[in-house]
Amino acid sequence: MAKVGAHARQRWPVAVLAIFAITGYLFVAASVSADGGDLRPAGGDPASLAQERAKRIDERRSDARHLRADIEDLSASVSSATVKKLRARAKALEEPTGLTALEGPGIRVTLNDAPPGLKPPDGTDPKVLLVHQQDIQAYVNALWAGGAEAVTLQGQRLISTTGIKCVGATVVLDGVPYFPPYVIEAIGDVGTMNTAIDTSAATISFAQYAADPRYQLGLDIEDVDNVKAPAYAGTVSLSYAKATN
* Distance from C-alpha of 173 to C-alpha of 102, rounded to nearest angstrom: 20
* Distance from C-alpha of 168 to C-alpha of 127, rounded to nearest angstrom: 10
CATH for 101-229 (3.30.70.1880, 1.10.10.10, 3.40.640.10, 2.40.50.140): 3.30.70.1880
DSSP secondary structure letter of residue 129:
G
Closest residue by Cα to residue 108 from 29, 161, 28, 184: 184
* Distance from C-alpha of 233 to C-alpha of 126, rounded to nearest angstrom: 35
Amino acid at 218: G
The SS3 call for residue 151 is: strand
Amino acid at 107: I
Contact 128, 121 (CB under 8 A): no
pLDDT tens digits for 205-229? Answer: 999 999 999 999 999 999 999 999 9
Contact 67, 60 (CB under 8 A): no
Domain positions in the chain: 2-71, 101-229
DSSP secondary structure letter of residue 230:
P
pLDDT tens digits for 143-179? Answer: 999 999 999 998 888 887 677 787 777 788 777 888 8
- Which of 62 and 7 is assigned the larger pLDDT? 62
